[in-house]
A and B are shown apart, each in its own frame.
Chain A
Amino acid sequence: MIVRVTTQNGELVQVLVAAEEGSSEATAEVEGTGPNPIAPEGKELLWGAGSFIVFLVIMRLFLFPRLKRGMDARYDGIRGDFEQADKTRDAAQADVAKYEAALAEVRAEAAGRVDKARQTLDAERTAKIAEANTRIAAKRAAAESELEAARNAVRDQIAAAVAQVTERTTQLAVGKSPDASVVQKAVQQVMGAK
């Protein structure tokens, strides 16, 4: 049986397949371009598996724990530094707060004193003003009463004089002296009406 096949180099050759029963196998072997390109190859699989497992074991047992320990130690160190810094800052802030509290206390005391002084000053002033006012009021009252008395005296004198004049005039005109009480009433009526 003669079969025409192409080899891997692309040459066309004729192959004489001698054995009749093995013919199908033989043709299949030569026809294709070698084994299936997708099928996994035993030695590649085994060597790959071996190298991966060795890598994994070494990483798991020795390298990774050391690396991780180093990283954790550094991170802890950095975290510790951070905490220290935080603590220092907190202490400084507490100091600042204390100082500010003292400052506020002193300020409050000073303000209290100033207020107190101002209050006493105000009280004194109001007291003095009140005293002066009463004094002035008393003096004014005395003067006013004096004035009133003087005015009344003058008025009485004027009334007496008017009454006298009226009495005299009436006597001259009528010839008869009028009743003193009537004259007085009339004078008072005129002066009151005025």
Chain B
Amino acid sequence: MEALTRIANASVRVAAEAGSYTAAEAKANAAAQMAGLAYGLAAIGPGIGIGMIFGKAIESMARQPESAGMVRTTMFLGVAFTEALALIGFVAFILLKFA
């Protein structure tokens, strides 16, 4: 995390020194870079989680096809809860980038 902060600060400084941006623009650029990184990090966990949920759901549906309806509903619930984390990351991305 410290390294990331250093990169962001450095990019702000370099861009500001180059004189092509105002300080505010340089800060916005840095925020945009960090936003991309933040969303990438936020997507890792839910990606793995959703993969596991679908895998296990398919496994149990194959094992007991008669309970497929119940498994599917529960699977979508689990996906919804897991996906929320990634979506909060996406919202954080939008906030960092545009707000």
Chain B residues 35-72 with CB under 8 Å of chain A are: none
Size category of the B interface is under 10
- Tell me the count of chain A residues lying within 8 A, CB to CB, of chain B: 10
Within the complex, the shortest CB–CB distance from B71 to chain A, in Å, comes to 28
Query: B94 near A: Cβ within 8 Å?
Result: yes
A-chain residues with CB within 8 Å of residue B99 when the two chains form the complex? 32, 36-38
Do residues B24 and A38 form an inter-chain contact, with CB atoms below 8 A? no
Report how far A33 CA is from B95 CA in the complex, Å.
Answer: 12
A66: interface (CB < 8 Å) = no
Q: Which residues of B contact A113 (CB under 8 A)?
A: none
- Would you call A31 an interface residue if the criterion is a C-beta within 8 Å of the partner chain's C-beta atoms? yes
CA distance A33 to B98 in the complex (A): 7
A38 touches B94 (CB 8 A): yes
Q: Whose C-beta in chain B lies nearest to the C-beta of A39?
A: B99
Q: Among B25, B91, B94, B98, point to the contact of A6 (Cβ < 8 A).
A: B25
B22 within 8 A of partner (CB): yes
Minimal Cβ-Cβ distance residue in B for A4 = B22
Q: Mark A20-37, 1 if CB is under 8 A from B, else 0.
A: 000000000001110011
B94: A residues at CB distance < 8 A? 37-38
Q: Tell me the chain A residues, 27-65 only, with Cβ under 8 Å from chain B.
A: 31-33, 36-38
Contact A37 B25 (CB under 8 A): no
Would you give 5 A-B contacts (Cβ < 8 Å), ordered by A? A3-B22, A5-B22, A6-B25, A31-B24, A38-B91
Q: Which residues of A contact B (CB under 8 A)?
A: 3-6, 31-33, 36-38
Residues of B within 8 A of A (CB): 22, 24-25, 91, 94-95, 98-99
Apart from A3-B22, A5-B22, A38-B95, what are 4 other A-B pairs with CB-CB below 8 Å?
Answer: A5-B24, A36-B95, A36-B99, A37-B94
